[in-house]
Amino acid sequence: MASLSSIQHMKARALTVMSTRSQDQQLVSDIAARQGVQDLNTLKSPQSSSENRVVPCFGWHPWFSHQLYDDTVPKPTYDGTESGKTAHYDAILAPSPSSKDPSFIAGLPSPRPLSEFLNETRSRLKKHPLALVGEIGIDRAFRLPGSWTADDEAQRDEGLTPGGREGRKLSPYRVQLSHQAAILQAQLRLAGEMGRAVSVHGVQAHGALHEAIAQCWKGHERPVNSRRQQKRVAEGAEDFSSSSSSSSEDEAEEEEGRKEKVAKSKKPYPPRICLHSFSGPVEALRQYVHPAVPAQVFFSFSVPVNWGTGGGDKAEEAVRAAPDDRILVESDLHEAGEPMDRSLEQVCRKICEVKGWGLREGVERLARNWREFAFGRGR
């Protein structure tokens, strides 16, 4: 929060700013109200002093998924009682905290109903027509922070948004993947309902993440003809351009087409998906760009995650394998200003080098990709 005033002085023309938990949903909305991109035409303006730079994103990160319970199922894990709170955390955390450390659950918040969060997010998406859904996802490696101690409280950084780890040691408890997937899929369906793009987090769970996302578009896959079928279609094609119909029939067809378009606009999956700071193997990447996949899937890369943890070779393999029009860049930092600009410049240079693009050509291409991902309007 302490770096917000530096956004208007950044070299970056626009930032997609992610929310992750209860404490930052309204903060992101407030930032967007003051510094949000209101009109896509403003993004084409070269004026670096413009304050309209933020595209808000509303979502519940898997690191905080334990704080929600799915009240849409017949038997929710939480019933609103103190014993129900224990039952919820025992059901969705591994190992069960009550058998290992009963006091750990006492330091956790009472879980919120998933439907309540979805309704709040739907309202925020309506308030901000250009907003995205994010950051959401699955994380197999994440462990919950330990309970607050007196020393932790004394060392808290007031410049940080509350609710994060804030230097606490990690506990042995992890959120079960089935619970993370349920929270993820609910948000994917909301994004599909609202026609918004999503930013997805995935760590050490590439198979589980793909399965969870693919379940949402199951039954909506695009037909993929074999080469033999494509040849048959081409040979048997007929030209119906000279066929005639009455004016009333044309109008009826147009109205039917309009209704069909409206009906098809709401899908149980998002139209565009970004796998952010993508760390998966090339085989996982190829699953998402298969011709049958009905959503546009993008892959973003950041220096701190993709090159800063010794995974540069793996990241470069993924960059080379990703289609040119599906690559995005990000800082993956929580501090705006010069550090974020520097991180963005570094990753732009990395990708241009790997792809063999000239720097100007590459940056322009990456800008088009971002506009296509965020708004479905790359040009």
Rounded to 5°, the CA angle 290-302-197 comes to 50
pLDDT at 234: 46
pLDDT tens-digit series, residues 108-149: 999 999 999 999 999 999 999 999 999 999 999 999 999 888
Backbone φ and ψ for 112, nearest 5 degrees, come out as -100, 150
Between CA 9 and CA 47 the distance in angstroms is 11
| pTM for this entry | 0.89
Place of tokens 């997609």: 16
Span 159-202, pLDDT tens digits: 788 889 988 999 999 999 999 999 999 999 999 999 999 999 99
C-alpha–C-alpha distance, residues 355 and 322, integer Å: 10
Which is it for the CA torsion 112, 114, 119, 123, positive or negative? positive
- Per-residue pLDDT of 190-247, as tens digits, reads 999 999 999 999 999 999 999 999 999 999 999 997 666 655 544 554 433 344 445 5
The confidence score (pLDDT) of residue 161 equals 83
